[in-house]
Structure 1
Amino acid sequence: MDWRGQYPTPPLPSPANRPASHDAVLAFAWTTGEFTATEAMQATGLTRSTAIDALDALTRLGLLRELPNARLAGDYRKGRPARRFALRDDAAVLVGVDAGHVHLTAVVTDLRSRPLATYRATQVLDEDDAAARSALIAAGVDRALSDAGRTRGDVLAITVGVPAPVNVHGRSPRHPTGFWERMNPDLVEALGWAPIAHVENDASLAAVAEGTVGAAIGCRDYIALLAGARLGAGVVVDGVLLRGRHGGVGEMVAFDHVEGVGSAAGLGERAELLAAEAVADGTAAGSALAAVEPDRLDARAVLELASQGDEAARTIAEQVGAVLARIVSVLGSMFDPQRVVISGGISAGVEDVVAAARRLLPTDLDLPAPELVVSPLGADVVVTGAVAAASAAARARALDVWPLADAGS
């Protein structure tokens, strides 16, 4: 089913002269279930005739469907039966992608962001070049669409998150080693087949997810800290996601120069390194850490042992917590957030680290220390944010692209 070609009715007016009532009614329909024309009129403040004109136009276009009236549905009422409508949530699909350095996750949803299919893959690092990465992402999207029984022609909006700064045009600046260019190999061009396509920094999408369905709902000043292998931050101030000219807000290379932090290595990477050192120098002798196979001594294993009370593992959690406290203190001084959310896969077992950081947060700062909380969204936080961003873009721009595409442009 291709939403761009299945409705042969005349297109709606162009954005320049389209009645604002169309946008108002569509926005209402997108956030509600079944509704009557009267409810649409009351919610939008439109007159009855204007609301009905908009409902009819959106129904002709295929964005809304008219449902059986109350009498036909068996809910008898006296007088004229009310006309009932609903968003046609299967009219198109949204796609969210987390294109990480190693892992790829692509999710296809209906227009209400209900998942239809998920595809996961792993990138082979020795094939970490721009062309191979772009092909892997494209193949992942196509596979997810196929699993959902859809094609590229059904996509209204797609958002891809990458581990690189991304400017407002979806492009990343040059990196000394070329890493950012490999992570974002002109994806905004590669996604040109979609009516609405965005490329975003992965930590920024984590912030979108936390503010939409995560640990920062209702919060206007917060930071989502992706802290697994490398540090990255999505920063929201006064309800606005900050970006910067090159998309570099939240890049953490500055921590290379912060005493007590020393690098942009994430909490997971630090836990693994400290555990390996403790085993190598004998500090972990007698600890369960020493019994873990070296190739399995990752952050998850260390933090799980810490939660079980292993003394050597708990010491590592305290050490990592001290680093986190310093990171949060610096971010607190720079951005004055109400809350810092530890996001990403590391959040699943990081409670001991966060508890240590809370105890160690400095009390001698001029500003109050921010709240430090753990995300409930786990490893899928970036793709969750990508879907949320695709949904927001679709709601804002659906009527800008739908009639143009329907007209064959």
Structure 2
Amino acid sequence: MATTGLTRSTTIDALDELIDIGLLRELPNARAVGEYRKGRPSRRFELRADAAVVVGMDAGQSHITTTIADLRGVPIASETRELSALDDSADARRAAVLASVDSALRSAGRGRESVLAICIGVPAPVDSEGNSPHHREGFWQRMNPDLRPMFEDWVPIVRLENDASLAAIAEGSVGAAIGCSDYVVLLAGDRFGAGVVVDGRLLRGAHGGAGEMFALDKVLGVGSAKGMGLRLTSWVRDAAAAGEIPAGHPLDSLPKEQLTGRAVLELARSGDAWSRGIVERAGALLARVTAIFGSVYDPSRVIVAGAVAENLNQIADVARAALPDEVDLAVPELVLSSLGARSVAVGAVCAAVDSARTGVLHLRVVTPKFLRSAV
């Protein structure tokens, strides 16, 4: 009553309606559990978190991670499957996405009828209707081959989002952006992608492209949207091919497949001067990319996310030192995410729960099958 401003009778009517559709259960009243003081004993209720499930999916180019969670967002089951690079057709992707959901539901001991909401993150721009714009090479269409209509026949609430946008939702819900209303989350693995939150609202743009990074192709000192993980590996392999790695250096005799960004960062941590030069170069680049977002969106925080983030402490330190010379506005705080490779999958679950909360009472069927069967 205090939170909603409703009278007791109206509040009880609303709670009774939520009980009728299976979202709440009533507990023994305050007198029955020894919390009664005086006057009318309080009625007590709790969310029926097991009344339905939500599905959160990170549908990347090379993998699909699917999580089944209850209505509080607590995971029940999670599975990851690798995708074949030999067949990335639209039909193959739709089949893989659907099979991943069904498999995860079986692991959770639930059926399709128990799903209230699903949120799928894809490496493509996604507008508010779940559609991706045309890509000149067809990549975005392959990553989001009409996934929303495929689920709308049996999932009441379906949501599609760009993967970086879901990483931003994850950071705002359980990560480094809790309590922050203006921030950018930068996915920095193979390619840079950004999820942008301004004034507490996730930005999409007319075609879902608010966080797309093709503009980096035009930025001096950056040159492309190639991500930090891929860029570090490219730099060290290019140096090896050009004979620029000093003779006798630990990297000098390694086969190409072992010349990775991770190897360079490990050597830099141990004090290796040549590897430190790669770190300085990467830090300058990260500072410039951060400065672009600082100038365009004026965030108070920029969070570097993805599996690569856990190894970027040295690079982030260099970037933080360089940022004051790159930004005219107040310098945004540069933070590394602690969610690792899970950020998109975590964000998908958070978004699915949020969509379930806002949409469940607006469904056409007042007493949905998936809730009534659980009452």
Using structure 1 for the length normalisation, give the TM-score: 0.85
From 167, 171, 174, the equivalent of 2:134 is 174
Correspondence 1:306 to 2:268 = yes
What residue in structure 1 maps to residue 175 of structure 2? Answer: 214
From 207, 219, 228, the equivalent of 2:189 is 228
Which secondary structure state, in structure 1, belongs to the residue aligned with residue 56 of structure 2? strand
From 53, 64, 71, the equivalent of 1:111 is 71
From 344, 355, 367, the equivalent of 2:329 is 367
What residue in structure 2 maps to residue 322 of structure 1? Answer: 284
Contact in 2 for aligned 1:287/1:310 (Cα 8 Å): no
Deviations 1:140-166, CA, capped at 9 Å, x for gaps: 111111111111111111100000001
Query: How far apart in 2 are the matches of 1:236 and 1:275?
Result: 34
Letter paired with 1:247? G
From 97, 100, 113, the equivalent of 1:153 is 113
Query: How far apart in 1 are the matches of 2:247 and 2:367?
Result: 66
Query: How far apart in 2 are the matches of 1:128 and 1:74?
Result: 61
* Runs of 5+ unmatched residues, structure 1: 1-40
Provide closer, same or farther for how the CA distance between residues 360 and 104 of structure 1 changes in structure 2, counting only shifts above 3 A. same
Query: How far apart in 2 are the matches of 1:53 and 1:402?
Result: 20
Correspondence 1:124 to 2:89 = no
Query: How far apart in 1 are the matches of 2:247 and 2:64?
Result: 38
Contact in 2 for aligned 1:289/1:312 (Cα 8 Å): no
Deviations 1:53-107, CA, capped at 9 Å, x for gaps: 1222211221101112344445566665432210000000111100011121111
After superposition, residues 39-78 of structure 1 pair within 5 angstroms as 41-73=1-33
Correspondence 1:197 to 2:146 = no
Correspondence 1:185 to 2:160 = no
After superposition, residues 23-102 of structure 1 pair within 5 angstroms as 41-73=1-33, 80-102=40-62
Query: How far apart in 1 are the matches of 2:246 and 2:301?
Result: 35
Provide closer, same or farther for how the CA distance between residues 291 and 81 of structure 1 changes in structure 2, counting only shifts above 3 A. farther
Displacement, 1:131?
A: 0.8
Which secondary structure state, in structure 2, belongs to the residue aligned with residue 160 of structure 1? strand
What residue in structure 1 maps to residue 214 of structure 2? Answer: 253
Contact in 2 for aligned 1:289/1:313 (Cα 8 Å): no
Correspondence 1:271 to 2:232 = yes
Displacement, 1:371?
A: 1.4
Query: How far apart in 1 are the matches of 2:36 and 2:293?
Result: 60
What residue in structure 2 maps to residue 353 of structure 1? Answer: 315
Contact in 1 for aligned 2:29/2:43 (Cα 8 Å): yes
Contact in 1 for aligned 2:134/2:140 (Cα 8 Å): yes
Query: How far apart in 1 are the matches of 2:367 and 2:196?
Result: 35
Contact in 1 for aligned 2:67/2:79 (Cα 8 Å): yes
Which secondary structure state, in structure 1, belongs to the residue aligned with residue 226 of structure 2? coil
Query: How far apart in 2 are the matches of 1:355 and 1:402?
Result: 53
Query: How far apart in 1 are the matches of 2:253 and 2:301?
Result: 38
Which secondary structure state, in structure 2, belongs to the residue aligned with residue 328 of structure 1? helix
Provide closer, same or farther for how the CA distance between residues 262 and 244 of structure 1 changes in structure 2, counting only shifts above 3 A. same
Contact in 1 for aligned 2:123/2:162 (Cα 8 Å): yes
Provide closer, same or farther for how the CA distance between residues 49 and 278 of structure 1 changes in structure 2, counting only shifts above 3 A. same
Letter paired with 2:104? A
Provide closer, same or farther for how the CA distance between residues 368 and 132 of structure 1 changes in structure 2, counting only shifts above 3 A. same
Query: How far apart in 2 are the matches of 1:177 and 1:405?
Result: 45
Which secondary structure state, in structure 2, belongs to the residue aligned with residue 173 of structure 1? coil
Letter paired with 2:233? E
From 380, 390, 401, the equivalent of 2:342 is 380
Identical columns (%):
54
Which secondary structure state, in structure 2, belongs to the residue aligned with residue 337 of structure 1? coil
What residue in structure 1 maps to residue 373 of structure 2? Answer: none
* Runs of 5+ unmatched residues, structure 2: 371-375
Letter paired with 1:88? R
Contact in 2 for aligned 1:363/1:369 (Cα 8 Å): no
Deviations 1:327-362, CA, capped at 9 Å, x for gaps: 111221111111111011111101111111112225
Contact in 1 for aligned 2:116/2:155 (Cα 8 Å): yes
For the aligned residue pairs, the C-alpha RMSD in angstroms reads: 1.9
Which secondary structure state, in structure 1, belongs to the residue aligned with residue 99 of structure 2? helix
Contact in 1 for aligned 2:21/2:367 (Cα 8 Å): no
Using structure 2 for the length normalisation, give the TM-score: 0.93
Paired residues, number: 368
